[in-house]
Chain A
Amino acid sequence: MNKIQEGIPSRSKDQENLLVLLEETQNKFGYLSRELLAELAKALGLPISDVYGVATFYSFLSTKPLGRNVIRVCKSLPCYLKNAQPIINCVEQEIGIKPGETTLDGRFSFQLTNCIGACDKAPAIMINHDVHGDLTPEKISQVLAGYK
């Protein structure tokens, strides 16, 4: 079971690279399963609790399966003031899942996130690494259509 060993480029096997490796592993395998965490721990010579501790600290890392596209709707104050709630409701309606869930077909995961630094274009969301701002409920359908 050496899925990760094949994927690791020639870096030194140090704690230093753990966060970077977790991100690369998640990009490659979709999410950080228990097995992948165990393999990474073994490859780096770290206790699995340490690896699990890092994997669960950062909001962009996930130990649960994620959809192909991750929608993050900002729920912080500046977006809240600019009607983020209707955007949240609209996304729910469009894809049929609540924040924290993933669609059955694996197309979307839906999360609420904290300030993404797009407050001048509030209300704003991220889908994967793209920021979509100046949103209204009417625009949501088209925005989502761009992600398969």
Chain B
Amino acid sequence: MPEKRIVLRNCEVIDPRQIVTYLERDGFKALEKAVNKLTEEQVIEEVKASGLRGRGGAGFPCGLKWELARKAPGAEKYVICNADEGEVGTFKDRYILEGDPFTLIEAMVIAGYAVGSRRGYIYLRAEYHYLLDLLSNAIGQARERGFLEHFDIDIREGAGAYVCGEESALMDSIEGKRGEVRYRPPFPPSKGLWGKPTIINNVETLMNIPQIILNGASWFSQMGTEWSKGTKVFSLSGDVEKPGVYELVMGSLLRELVEGLASAKNTKMIQVGGATGRIIPYEMIDTPLDFEDILGAGAITVFDESRDIIDIIYRNMEFLAEESCGKCVPCREGTEVMLEILERLSQGEGTEKDIRALQELASAMMLSSLCGLGQAAPNPVMDSLQYYRDVYESRIRKS
């Protein structure tokens, strides 16, 4: 199946340094329509009806999030674009920012109009500092043309912390603190940045907004599956001939992406959703990519026959243990203990007891961790035990 480039429609088509090239492709027409022809409530209804769900991994309904923020009392509200993109194997937001910062800016202004906010922030990870000029320039040009009269945008940079991609840690980071996860409730739409109603949306989520406003909700909801509307932008890496960014309709099969577009061969297993994602064996390559099945933020890392599953799971956990914010016990301690067990298992010094310990830890972490990092850290481990138990067994028998 060929790509369907809706989010990516302007990437490598317009000049990201020249707003004129964006205006020539219906740039800021959606904002014009929203502000002049639709009420704030109508904009939100359109986004709700489209079925757009968050594209950063969690998949929360976008329209509902905006509605909650709109209804929250208070004149001071914030719109945050999450450009922290730290999930391993994910680089789609980088590609989007490189190619089309204008759509993002327009989307944020529309969001500001809809929820009643006058200020937006783009939280840009430190590792994307080289995109700062491009983004600032785009914002400056939008400002010059008068598009930011009622809603202005500031860029805040991260300083190297994966957990700051988690929305509450992100807000703490903007507030000048350690990027620690907050207890919820309250949720950001009622109490977020500096205690004010806040919406935080992923770059890709926002990129869908102008087209939804221009073409209508049913145009969008006709694409995809029952619970996953529209398209999804995927990041392909690992043992593939053609790594890169690909956009497909939701519900497309993993095979179309991995073998059809990225030309992978001799595939053993695929990690979908990054370090906290799922691992599936090649035999399941006809799994659809949507929220109902497997998705995450769309990071697809392919492993060929030469790769050792336990080594991969160990390295994966090393990342998570390092990046844990440290606030809650299940994650802070659980990732470290899992790491220690996995190290011994990978070196052939593990026991049957270790497998049981991993399973018990997994339950505790999934149930009681404060955020997705701890809750999903056990996913790859448990998947590997489900599909590759024999590898663990033979590694244990060696000791």
Contacts and interface: CB of A to CB of B under 8 A. Distances in A.
A and B held together in a complex: yes
A82 to B, nearest CB: 8
Interface in A91-115: 113-115
B319 A76 contact: yes
A77 B178 contact: no
Nearest to B322: A114
Interface residues of A, number: 36
Contacts of A57: 161, 178-179
B315 A77 contact: yes
A60 B159 contact: yes
A120 interface: yes
A7 interface: no
Interface string A4-40: 0000000000111111101100000000000000000
B91 interface: yes
B109 to A, nearest CB: 24
Nearest to B94: A117
B160 A81 contact: no
Contact of A16 (B128, B160, B175, B319): B175
B130 A78 contact: no
A120 B246 CA distance: 12
Nearest to A80: B315
A119 B89 contact: yes
Contact of B303 (A60, A81, A113, A116): A81
A122 interface: yes
B67 interface: no
A58 B301 contact: no
A59 B104 CA distance: 28
Interface residues of B, number: 49
A145 to B, nearest CB: 20
A120 B91 contact: yes
Given A114-B323, A118-B91, A58 B161 contact: yes
Given A77-B301, A81-B307, A129-B130, A117 B91 contact: yes
A37 to B, nearest CB: 14
A119 B161 contact: no
Contacts of A87: none
B88 interface: yes
B244 interface: yes
Interface in B118-167: 125-130, 156-162
B177 interface: yes
Contacts of A18: 176-177
Contacts of A82: 238
Contact of B159 (A14, A23, A122): A23
Contacts, number: 120
Interface string B46-59: 00000000000000
B288 interface: no
A75 B275 CA distance: 13
A130 interface: yes
A61 interface: yes
Contacts of B237: 78, 81, 119-120, 122
B243 interface: yes
Contacts of A76: 88-89, 275, 315, 319
Contact of B89 (A59, A61, A78): A78
A78 B127 contact: no
A48 interface: no
Given A14-B176, A78-B237, A80-B315, A119 B159 contact: no
A93 B179 CA distance: 35
Interface in A107-148: 113-122, 126, 129-131
A20 B94 contact: no
A15 B175 CA distance: 7
B294 interface: no
A121 to B, nearest CB: 8
Contacts of B130: 129-131
A78 B88 contact: yes
B178 A117 contact: no
B79 to A, nearest CB: 18
B176 A15 contact: yes
Contact of A120 (B93, B157, B235): B235
A114 B85 CA distance: 12
| Cβ-closest 8 pairs across A and B | A59-B160, A58-B159, A18-B176, A119-B237, A60-B160, A78-B237, A57-B178, A117-B91
29 contacts: A15-B175, A16-B176, A16-B194, A19-B159, A20-B156, A22-B159, A23-B159, A54-B177, A58-B161, A61-B159, A76-B88, A76-B89, A77-B88, A77-B312, A78-B89, A81-B301, A82-B238, A113-B127, A114-B323, A115-B90, A117-B90, A117-B94, A117-B128, A120-B237, A120-B243, A120-B245, A121-B243, A129-B129, A129-B130
Given A76-B319, A119-B237, 12 more contacts: A15-B175, A17-B176, A23-B159, A57-B161, A59-B161, A77-B316, A78-B301, A113-B127, A113-B160, A114-B86, A115-B87, A118-B91
